Amino acid sequence: MQTEKSGVLWAIGAYVIWGVLPIYWKSLEHVASGEILISRIVWSFVSTLLLVLLMKNGRHLVGDMKTLWRSQRDFWLLFAASVLVSSNWFIYIWAVNHNHLVQTSLGYYINPLVSVLLGIFFLKEKLSRAQQVAFLLAIIGVIILTVSYGQLPWVSFALAITFAIYGFAKKKIQLDALRGMTIETLFVLPIAIGFYIWLFAEGKAVFLHTDLKTNILLIFTGAATAIPLVMFAKGAQRIPLFMIGFLQYIAPTMMLFLGVIIYGETFGKIDLISFSFIWAALLLFTFTTISEALKKRKSHL
């Protein structure tokens, strides 16, 4: 019980940090999204590698890389996951710094539903009647939003789809979260360094060419990525999967609050109606998922 309580605290801490991170990215809105992304890749690699070494897991990291290389399927699957999460980071940073926090929150709300769709199509999983109703409610909410925008909320869909496929790919590979993150950033590190060299050669780099505060914020993009990841990994090891599913809505709810209340993004009646359908879908979906998980736990006792 004590282990589960600490797991809940670790997971909540991770989601709260993810929820307030838009404030961090907003403080870097004078830097191009592309440079923020490559800074995040470079310094994430440095941060996660340092953490791995401090935890005396360097030998395990080398072992993971050798195992991956022996399994070419897993190697290229993780490479694809690395490209996907980098794309997700770029869209997320761009959206936050171009005043699309409401769309960003919507993307992370519908992400679990996209993950379930992947399970249906690729793993032949089946939905209960209540879960089918939940999907119908979510679809209605998205249609309302699409009609009101006059176009698909592409930011939301891009975030949800890239992160869902990333999570799907990661489930196929058994890797420690921290060491996996180190290897993922290593995959795209050469591209990030090459882009940085080009920026410096063209005189377009902000890093080391601006104030000290910006330089420090760019360096700590790595820590901003690594710290909640480690906290989440610790939490996920201690609590059941259904509890993670319930807690994951903390981050998009905080993002929505920041976008509307703090940064003054528009959130009219149509948005409220649309989000209400999606919230109802998530509540129904989460409730039925938790009920099923609790029944399975009781049957195993």
Q: How far apart are CA 11 and CA 18, in angstroms?
A: 11
Whole-structure pTM value: 0.84
Can you give the pLDDT at residue 298?
67
| Contact residues for 255 (Cβ-Cβ < 8 A; gap 6+) | 19, 22, 101, 104, 105, 108
Residues of the domain holding 104: 2-300
How far apart are alpha carbons 240 and 4 in whole angstroms? 8
Checking if the pLDDT of 153 tops 60, the result is yes
As for how many domains the chain has, the answer is 1
pLDDT at 181 exceeding the cut of 90:
no
pLDDT at 300: 61
pLDDT confidence of 217, banded at 50, 70, 90? very high
Q: Which two tokens stand for residue 232?
A: 């989440």
pLDDT digits (tens, 9 = 90+) for 244-264: 766 788 888 899 999 999 999
Amino acid code (one letter) for 101? L
Please check the confidence at residue 1 and state whether its pLDDT lies above 60: no
Q: How many CB atoms lie within 10 A of CB 32?
A: 17
Which one has a higher pLDDT value, 177 or 46? 46
d(CA 46, CA 232): 19
Q: Which residue has the higher pLDDT, 200 or 289?
A: 200
Question: In the structure, what pLDDT confidence band is assigned to residue 112 with cuts at 50, 70 and 90?
Answer: confident
CA distance 284 to 224: 33
Percent of the chain with pLDDT over 70: 93
pLDDT at 198: 95
What's the confidence (pLDDT) of residue 33? 92
Question: pLDDT confidence of 43, banded at 50, 70, 90?
Answer: very high
Residue whose C-alpha is closest to residue 77's, from 7, 171, 209, 211: 171
Q: Between 223 and 7, whose confidence is greater?
A: 223
Instruction: Quote the pLDDT of residue 293.
Output: 65
Q: What is the pLDDT of residue 176?
A: 80
Of the two residues 293 and 55, the one the predictor is more confident about is: 55
Reported confidence tier of residue 174, pLDDT bands at 50, 70, 90: confident
Q: What is the pLDDT of residue 2?
A: 63
pLDDT of residue 212 exceeding 90: yes
Q: What is the mean pLDDT of residues 277-293?
A: 80
pLDDT band at residue 178 using 50, 70 and 90 as cut-offs: confident
- Residue 46's pLDDT band (cuts 50, 70, 90): very high
pLDDT category at 227 given cuts 50, 70, 90 is: confident
Average pLDDT, the chain: 86
